[in-house]
Amino acid sequence: MLARLDMQTLQNPQACVDAVLARVGKRISLTTPLGLGKPNHLLNALYERAKRDPSIELLIHTALTLELPKGKSLLEQRFLAPMVRRLFGNYPDLAYELDRMAGKLPANVRVIEFYFPAGKYLKTPSAQHDYISSNYTHVARDLCARGVNVLAQQVCAGVVNGRPMLSLSCNPDLTLDLIAKMRADEKSGSAIAIVAQLNDQLPFMHGDAIVPADTFDVIVDDPHGSYTLFGPPKLSVADADHMIGLYASTLVKDGGELQVGIGALGDALAHALVLRQTNNALYREALDGLSVLRRNADVIGRIGDLAPFTLGLFSATEMLVDGFMHLWQAGILKRKVYDDVALSRLRNEGRIDEQVTPELLDLLRAARAIRTVLTGPDLAYLQHFGILRDELSYDAGSIVARDGSRVVPNLEDPAARAFLHAHLGSTLQHGAVIHAGFFLGPPAFYAWLRNLPEEQRKLIDMRSVTRINQLYGHEEIDRLHRRDARFVNTSMMITLLGAAVSDALEDGRVVSGVGGQYNFVAMAHELPGGRSVLQARSTREVGAEVRSNIVYNYGHTTIPRHLRDVVITEYGIADLRGKTDQECAMAMLAISDSRFQETLMNDAKRAGKLRPDYRIPDAQRANTPESYERPLARWKARGAFGPFPFGTDLDAQEKQLGAALRRLEAATTTRPRLARALAQAALHGWPGADVEPLLRRMELHAPKTAEEHLYARLLAASLRELI
């Protein structure tokens, strides 16, 4: 149990609602964090109050609203229900989200979001109406311009240096900037309320996430208010995803910086990097056997690396995903950075390491980080970074030791130097290996964060998104931290000329949101050695049809073509930076699925972007799933590139059922396919003992209705195809 705050707090959310109404009145313009940081009990109490009282105007500004998986069909519902009970425990759904999805939001409530769970609201008009398209770094500004007057966040409590403190834990990303802006509005006469609810399940995170209790006007400390954190189970990683991750892993340089996106492609990259570190021989065999080096030797040689990580990586990432946990555990994520220009420059030049030596004082003096005759601020600086021990104090121009001995700290005085050398620390302190804005992940990830020894957890510095996603205001130190940066993100589609489609469809419907992708792509172009790496699967299935994710042109783009950089599909790497339009088109054709290459090439020729006599080289005309699926099986047999490279929260039955349900879904997308599936089910006859336990798990072992009989036969046939 985390330490409780020694202060007066409210013990239930309803009392907090009363306090909010007393402070700001009945027009509540609320902001609450994206994802995990929402205080669900408090938000539900506020929403229920607004439902009962139509005179309350409630505007909810947020993003990534999470909802327990429920399923649409009978099969999905029966598959999910036991798993959700096991994994999500007592997580309370948000009442406003349930009503929004049911089309039952009252007229006095609006939900305005700037980022969606991917694809969830494509057919939800209210969500599409009330979407704000904004770079993540601009969200705090835009929300304050909309008159936000209430901020509500889930936090946890702990003790830091003997003082009770709060941690913003999973979501300092926007909260830190919003609080600063809202407090400024308060000084100008605006009525505001900044409130929090404690949840002991949150990991107590350090860095800028730690704030004093008086940061908030009201804190809800309900003894029964803690609940299970929303922890979505791991998705399976397909063969195409593994190929993309393998290609991306060759571009990450030892001693560099890494940002990774969410989902299966992020897992695939983390898995390939772990393989590169822990079994480099097998990793290189896979690169050879899958023709990765043959196809991309030039770009890998210029900007990549294949060796294990000696210096290790640092990460400055918007979202801290559980892939970083695996990189940490494999000894990859270990390069410490320090929030000091002089120390960072000396570290990058290889002139110092983490060990404190007498020479360090001279190096810092030469860098003008400290004075020749140390002052009080100089002593504080040296103690903060562990260069001098905390037992020293400053008094009237002298440094005083605990035993009372003192010296005028002139670094040119041999006696003073000897005194200071006797009180040197051992290693540099207050470093970090991760800077992150927010996190969300599976239950094992939260448990790892909670159970990390405090000194190691302090190496994860949670920060505001404006300190993560952009260089402005802290450019010098970020340039030193983010050397050889690789910002790896995912796109839905890429045009032949290098523009990326990542957030919306060409008719304007939003799939997810811009988030921080544009920020990171633009930043990559500003950092020496920095590269943006956009990953995209080359194709997708729409019903029974396979479509290309590489298109000649598209009516909406997230990343404009003038910011084109590195693109990766399962067929290779296209380095587009500084290339002509014709060179870009040729490079993108080389990593497109061969079923669509001819059409794409002809589109480019008609637009005058490819010379009329251009012909796709024969070596690039075999880009088919079979070209990598068969050779990949060789390394699967040796324990690499499996569907769950980092394990799964699904049990053995759920893994079998999940695979069968995906197969069944693909087999019934059209009427002809459904007819074939029904015929196949009829051939198999009534399900036998071989699949009975799995049908029992789905409550289909003794079907009572015609619908259950049909589903039992279809599912049994799909299961038998996999057994």
pLDDT digits (tens, 9 = 90+) for 273-312: 999 999 999 999 999 999 999 999 999 999 999 999 999 9
Beta strand 406-407 with 398-400 is antiparallel
Sequence-distant (≥ 6) Cβ neighbours of residue 168 within 8 angstroms: 37, 153, 155, 175, 176, 205, 209, 210, 211, 462
- What SS3 string covers 498-558? CCEECCECCCCCECCCCCCHHHHHHHHHHCCCCEEEEECCCEEEECCEEEECEECCCCCCC
Q: Which two tokens stand for residue 289?
A: 């056997």
Residue 95, SS3? helix
pLDDT range class, residue 709, cuts 50, 70, 90: confident
Q: Dihedrals φ, ψ of 16, to 5°?
A: -65, -40
pLDDT digits (tens, 9 = 90+) for 442-484: 999 999 999 999 999 999 999 999 999 999 999 999 999 999 9
CA 38 remoteness from chain centre: 17
User: 13-220 and 239-330+462-538+547-625: same fold?
Assistant: yes
- pTM of this structure: 0.94
Residue type, 89: G
Q: How far is CA 516 from CA 86, 460, 596, 650, 717, in A?
A: 33, 20, 31, 31, 44
Give the mean pLDDT of 214-225.
Answer: 93
Taking domain 13-220, whether its CATH number is 1.10.357.10 is answered by: no
Retrieve residue 374's tokens.
């140390």
DSSP class of 56: -
* Res 555 pLDDT > 70: yes
- For the cut 80, the answer to whether the pLDDT of residue 675 exceeds it is no
**What is the model's pLDDT at position 50?**
98
Q: Which of 190-199, 450-459, 464-473, 709-718 has the lowest mean pLDDT?
A: 709-718
Residue 328 phi, psi dihedral angles, 5° rounding: -60, -50
CA-based nearest residue to 540, from 492, 499, 504, 496: 492
Task: Quote the pLDDT of residue 138.
Answer: 96
For the chain, give every domain's residue range. 13-220, 239-330+462-538+547-625, 341-421, 652-722
Alpha-carbon distance 127 to 131, whole Å? 6
Pick the CATH number of 239-330+462-538+547-625 from 3.40.1080.20, 3.40.50.1970, 3.40.720.10, 3.40.50.2300: 3.40.1080.20
Mean pLDDT of the chain: 94
Q: How far is residue 627's CA from residue 268's CA, in Å, rounded to a whole number?
A: 19
pLDDT tens figures, 112-150: 999 999 999 999 999 999 999 999 999 999 999 999 999
Confidence of residue 248 (pLDDT cuts 50, 70, 90): very high
